[in-house]
C-alpha cells in the first residue's frame, strides 16, 4: 500500500517537474545530484539509514559499509553532495552519541587528525564531525549545567590537535558558550555523566 502510494507520488512529482521545466518556471533543469526533498527521498533515506544501522549492529567495518553503499572511490566533492553518504554520517553520529565517544576520538576515526585546516575543509568527513560536535555539545552542555561549582573538576588530558579544537571552537562561539564551559570541554572532553 505504502509502496504504491510512494510510486504514485513520485510520478506526480516527476510530472510537476516536467511541467515546470517546459513552462520555463525553473531556471535550470534538475540533475541527479539535486534533491527534491519529497516523500520518496525521505523514505529512501530512512531505508538507507535502517540498513546502515543493521550493518553497524552486525559489527561490519566502515569500509564494508561504504563499499556496500557504493561510496568507495568517490571524490570528496562527490561524497559531500551524496545523500547516501550524508545518511551514513548521520547514523555514525547517532552511534557515537549513544556511546559518548569523545570528540578527539571521532576526529581521529574520521581521518581528520594531522590535516591542515584547508585539507579538513575539503574533506567530506568534516561535515560529519561538525554535526557530531553540535550534538555532543548539546549533550555536554546539559550535563555541565547540572554540575555545581564544587563538583567541577577539569580533566587532565588536554586536546592535542589544534585543528580539531579550531572547528570545535567555531561551534562553541556560534552557540555563545561561556568561558568556564569552554575550558571544561577543551580539557580532555568531559564525562557526560554529572
Distance CA 154, CA 165 (A): 17
Cβ atoms within 10 A of the Cβ of 60, count?
Answer: 14
- Residues 110 and 49: their CA atoms lie apart, in Å, by 19
Same domain, 131 and 169: yes
Q: Model confidence over 98-135: pLDDT tens digits?
A: 998 888 889 999 999 888 889 989 999 999 999 998 89
In this predicted model, what pLDDT tens digit does every residue of 38-64 receive, in sequence order? 788 888 999 999 999 999 999 999 999
In a domain, 14, yes or no: no
| Chain segment 163-180, per-residue pLDDT in tens | 777 777 777 777 777 776
Can you give the residue range of the structural domain that contains 53?
A: 38-99
166 and 149 in a common domain: yes
Q: CA 81, 174, 156: angle at the middle one, nearest 5?
A: 100
Annotate 183-194 with b (16+ C-beta within 10 A) or e (fewer). ebbbebbbeeee
Compute the half-sphere exposure of residue 107: CA atoms within 13 Å on the CB side of its CA: 22
Q: Is residue 24 part of a domain?
A: no
Burial class for 91, CB neighbours closer than 10 Å (0-12, 13-18, 19+): buried
Overall pTM surpassing 0.75 (yes/no): no
Q: Point out the least confidently predicted range of 24-38, 95-109, 129-143.
A: 24-38
Residue 1 lies in a domain: no
**How many domains would you assign to the chain?**
2
115 and 192, same domain (yes or no): yes
43 within a domain of the structure (yes/no): yes
Amino acid at each position: 500500500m505504502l509502496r504504491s502510494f510512494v510510486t504514485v507520488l513520485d510520478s506526480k512529482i516527476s510530472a510537476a517537474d516536467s511541467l515546470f521545466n517546459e513552462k520555463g518556471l525553473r531556471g535550470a533543469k534538475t540533475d541527479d545530484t539535486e534533491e527534491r526533498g519529497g516523500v520518496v527521498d525521505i523514505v529512501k533515506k530512512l531505508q538507507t539509514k535502517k540498513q546502515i544501522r543493521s550493518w553497524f549492529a552486525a559489527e561490519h567495518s566502515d569500509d564494508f559499509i561504504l563499499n556496500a553503499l557504493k561510496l568507495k572511490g568517490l571524490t570528496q566533492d562527490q561524497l559531500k553532495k551524496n545523500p547516501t553518504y550524508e545518511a551514513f554520517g548521520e547514523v555514525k553520529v547517532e552511534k557515537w552519541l549513544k556511546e559518548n565517544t569523545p570528540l578527539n576520538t571521532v576526529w581521529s576515526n574520521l581521518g581528520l587528525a594531522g590535516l591542515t585546516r584547508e585539507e579538513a575543509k575539503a574533506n567530506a568527513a568534516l561535515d560529519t564531525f561538525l554535526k557530531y560536535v553540535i550534538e555532543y555539545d548539546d549533550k555536554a552542555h546539559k550535563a555541565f549545567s547540572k554540575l555545581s561549582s564544587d563538583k567541577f573538576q577539569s580533566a587532565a588530558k588536554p586536546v592535542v590537535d589544534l585543528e580539531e579544537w579550531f572547528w570545535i571552537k567555531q561551534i562553541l562561539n556560534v552557540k555563545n558558550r561561556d568561558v568556564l564551559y569552554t575550558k571544561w570541554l577543551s580539557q580532555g572532553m568531559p564525562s557526560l555523566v554529572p
